[in-house]
Each structure stands twice: as structure tokens, then as C-alpha cells.
Amino acid sequence: MTDFFKRLITFALASTIAIQLTPYRANAQAAVAVPVGAAIVVLGGIAYYVWTNSQGAEQRMPVSGDYLEDPEGAEPEIYSDYVWGDSESQALSRCQEVANGGLDVKVKKVGNNRYECTWRSSRG
Amino acid sequence: MAKHLVKFITAYPMGFVPHWMPEGYVPESRIENDVLVFVDELPKIGDIQEIEGDRWTVIDLCLYTPTEASKSQTESFCVAVCTQDGKEYSRSNWHDSDPHILYIPILLSGDLPVADDDERVTLWGLVSDVKNIDAAFYPNWETQFIQWFELSPAEPYKSAQYDQVALCWCEQVELAIAA
């Protein structure tokens, strides 16, 4: 986890904002609950929720949830899952389905007809 | 160490589900398992092989020869497709048009990677790009060099062949323990 994400999570907890992460393979998009009374403003073409915290400081959060994207964009997310397959050709096909457009899909045999699929996110 | 590395593919009869498959598994095609074995002599079509207690007949062969003679620890790599009744069948081909590179980590001693829960199950990886080869099936296996094999042009092999095969010769190293 990058420092950016750590800082983001710390910030979110301190602001008593509930963040629900979608399951592991859902490209790290988030559903966000914002405080009642938050306003939406557009700054530099990006929509933000804006509210004032208990210390009186103004807080902002992008509406789209894109704040979870790594701004450095240098470290692609690596994902993995497991599939069964009739054969290695079917295992590869199933891994590609599981990767759902992910890049560099790799298949490793880990047991009889059991395969580990690994891929990276399409960004980064 | 024996001269040739053979990947025996054992194809079960249509509809048969081996005991290791999850309960309720419904195959869409013949279930194929495989095992990697070093041999002194390459198998021939029609040969009977005893694999894990069962008798299998070789119905198809595919030979890969090394690209670098200077690093020929292994003279050839071979895929041998087997059925129990000795009859040919139509194998499923790849479902994509990407390159298919099979890679096999192997210790310099000749030991192959095996499954955690069954040392008779030999392991391998499949990638479409050389840069994605990850020979580190175990954290303490460090690749020393890769021996490349390409399809022998004379082979009339029918399906699901590899564009390249990489034997990743590894050495076991001691892992540093973090303080």
C-alpha cells in the first residue's frame, strides 16, 4: 500500500467517513458515504464533496471516487484467483475470463487441474 | 540426469471426473491431467506408459529442441498425449491467438517443483510474454539461466502446442531473515 493510500485512509477515519471497499477484484473502486450537509463544488473541472469538520477546517473529496486511483500511476495492482480446468487451454481461457480485461495474464499449475491465475490491472 | 523431459498429458474418457476434482464439477471436454518426467529415451506413439498406477497409451507426440546447444542440460522437451484406450481424440485448442510459452522451474539437481499437498504433482507456468516468466515457485529458488526450446519443425502435432518452452534452471538460496 502506498503512502498516499495510507494517508487517505487515516484521513477518512479521522473525518468519520465510512468507506466501503468493493471486493478484491473490483478494481479498487469505492462507495463513499459523505457527511450530511456536504456540498458539491467543481474545481478545475473535478467535482468535490466539500464540508467543514468539527475543527472548522474545510474538507474535500472527489465525487467520482477516483481518489483511490494512485496518482503516481506507477505501481499496477496485481491480482490473483484460482480456477479449475478440464485442461490447460481451458484453464487459460478461464483465467482470462476472471482477469476481465486485465493485462499479463499468467497461469500456474498448483495442483491436479487446479490453476492460479495472476494478472495486473489495466492501468499503471 | 536423464536426457529428455516429457510432459505426459493423460486424457480421461469423456464424462469421467477424477476424484480430485471438486464435488459437482461438470467437465465441458475430456479432463486432461499432466505430469513431468525425465526419461532416457523419448516415448513413441503406441507406447504403453504406466502413470500413477494406470496404463496409458501414447497417441500423439510433440518434440521441442533446444535453441542453445551450449546449454543443453536437457536434449529435448516432449509433450506426449495419452489415452487409456489408445484412441485419438480431438483436443481442445487454445481459445486465443496470443503466444503460448510454457515455463518450468527446475533445480540444477533436476528436481522439479511439486504441489504442496502431493509431491507427485509437478508444476509449471504458462505466459504469453517472456517478461512475465516468474520462475519463483518457491521464494528460495533463484533462476540461474533459462534453456529455451522451440517446436521441432518436422512435428505434425495437431493442437495446443507451445510457441516456446523455457526450462528455468534454478539454485536454492538461503533467504535473509528480517530482523
**Looking at the structure, do residues A86 and A56 belong to the same domain, yes or no?**
no
For residues A55 and A90, state if they share a domain. Answer: no
Does A78 touch chain B if contact means CB atoms closer than 8 Å? no
pLDDT value at position A57?
Answer: 75
| Cell 473490483, located at residue | A26
Chain segment B92-123, per-residue pLDDT in tens = 889 998 999 999 999 999 999 999 889 999 99
- When comparing pLDDT for B52 and A22, which is higher? B52
pLDDT per residue as tens digits for the range B51-81:
989 999 999 999 999 987 656 679 999 999 9
Q: Quick one: A56 and A111 in the same domain?
A: no
A49-63, A102-116, B142-156: the lowest-pLDDT one: A49-63
**What is residue B119's predicted lDDT score, i.e. its pLDDT?**
92
ipTM score here? 0.92
B14 near A CB under 8 A = no
Range of the domain at A90: 78-120
SS3 A46: strand
DSSP summary character for residue A68: G
Indicate whether A18 belongs to any domain: yes
Position B134: which residue type?
Answer: D
Query: Looking at the domain assignment, is residue A107 inside a domain?
Result: yes
With a cut of 50, say whether residue B8 has pLDDT above it. yes
Q: What is the mean pLDDT of residues A40-56?
A: 68
The answer to whether residue A51 is domain-embedded is yes
Is there a single domain that holds both residue A113 and residue A64? no
Is residue A39 in a domain? yes
Same structural domain, A84 and A63: no
pTM: 0.73
Predicted local distance difference test score (pLDDT) of residue A9: 46
Residue whose C-alpha cell is 540461474: B144
In a domain, A106, yes or no: yes
Q: Are residues A88 and A64 in the same domain?
A: no
Q: How confident is the model at residue B175 (pLDDT cuts 50, 70, 90)?
A: confident
Quick one: pLDDT at residue B11? Answer: 97
Both A88 and A60 in one domain: the answer is no
Q: Tell me which of A76 and A80 has the higher pLDDT.
A: A80
Top residue of A105, A110, A112 to mutate, by most chain B CBs within 10 Å, is A112
Structure confidence by residue, pLDDT tens digits, B123-165: 999 999 999 998 777 889 999 999 999 988 766 666 668 999 9
> Has residue A73 been placed in a domain?
no
Average pLDDT over residues A71-81: 77
Same domain, A97 and A50: no
Instruction: Compute the distance between CA of residue B3 and CA of residue B40 in angstroms, rounded to an integer.
Output: 5
Query: Residue B150: helix, strand or coil by DSSP?
Result: strand
By three-state DSSP, how is residue A12 classified? helix
One domain for residues A7 and A63: yes
The domain tally of chain A equals: 2
A85 and A106: one domain? yes
Mean pLDDT of A102-123: 93
C-alpha cell at B50: 504406466
Closest partner CB to A90 (pick from B22, B29, B124)? B29
Segment A45-51 mean pLDDT: 68
The pLDDT of residue A12 is: 45
Listed in sequence order, the residues at least 6 apart from B92 whose beta carbon sits closer than 8 Å to its beta carbon are A86, A87, A89, A90, B29, B159, B160
Could you give the C-alpha distances from A43 to A48, A73, B72, in angstroms and in order? 7, 22, 64
CB burial readout B69-106, b (16+ within 10 A) else e:
eeeeebebbbbbbbbeeeeeeebbebeeeeebbbbbbb
Say if residue A63 is in the same domain as residue A9. Answer: yes
User: Is A28's pLDDT higher than 90?
Assistant: no
| Minimum mean pLDDT range among A33-42, B77-86, B152-161 | A33-42
Closest residue in A to B96 (Cα–Cα)? A93
| Residue of chain B minimizing CA distance to A94 | B95
What pLDDT sits at residue A72? 57
Residues A43 and A94 in one domain: no
| pLDDT score of A37 | 64
Listed by number, the residues of chain B in 15-54 with a beta carbon closer than 8 Å to a beta carbon of chain A are 18, 20-22, 25, 27-34
Question: What's the pLDDT score for residue B168?
Answer: 93
